[in-house]
A = this chain, B = another copy of it.
Amino acid sequence: MINILLADDHEIMLDGYISILQHQEDINIIGTAANGREVLTVLEMKPCDVLLLDINMPLMDGLETAKFLRSSKPGISIIVLTMLNNLRYIHSMVDLGVSGYVLKSCGKSILLEAIRTAARGEKYFDEYVTSIIKAGYKRSFTVDDSEVVLSERETDIIRLVALGLTTKQIADELFISPLTVQTHRKNINFKLQLHSPSDVTHFAFTHNLLISKP
């Protein structure tokens, strides 16, 4: 029997999870939590094997909660649930040793598979998430129906531009010449048909490039 705690601040999502899991013979829902603090409260009182953890929660978010649990409850397998456009903490979570990383858009069968895999002490990462970890930031994009490939350095530069750093600041950050940064920026703009720092920032936001690097 897998004891599972569900953590998400969206009531409808919780109801969705419950609806899916309550009829599984090998799964026992020990409770729900709407924020990280409630997670800790419930876990003090009930044995738990798997935690389904939303990242965006009030009071204590998913990352903080996971960090706390790694030391206080290392036996609990954590499955992170997130939206496609919110993969910001993917590497932090993976480094923390979470057992799974699944998109909220996944279907029932994937959710169940992730839970059972995690309960066995194994890892389950969504395909997309796996591809992000593996790609190490070399990324393909479709721009006007043609395939564009950005190098790792280029995606580094995009992220730093999107964070508001000037060319000089980026150069200092990466220990290279500002002229080199300029060259990268020129190549990026050419490849992606961008024309301003705003365009670059816009691109970074709409293509999940603000993910913190491992």
Contact = CB atoms under 8 A, between A and B. Distances in A.
Contacts of A108: 11-12, 15
Contacts of A196: 164, 166, 197
A162 B16 contact: no
Given A18-B19, A19-B19, A198 B163 contact: yes
A142 to B, nearest CB: 16
Chain copies in the assembled complex? 2
Interface in A139-189: 161-166
A164 B206 CA distance: 14
A164 B197 CA distance: 8
A105 B111 CA distance: 21
A105 B9 contact: yes
Contacts of A15: 15-16, 19-20, 108
A20 B194 CA distance: 46
B10 A104 contact: yes
Contact of A20 (B12, B83, B164, B197): B12
A126 B105 CA distance: 24
Contacts of A104: 10, 12
Contacts of A197: 196-198, 201
A59 interface: no
A199 interface: yes
Given A164-B196, A164-B198, A198-B198, 7 more contacts: A12-B20, A12-B104, A12-B107, A197-B198, A198-B200, A198-B201, A201-B205
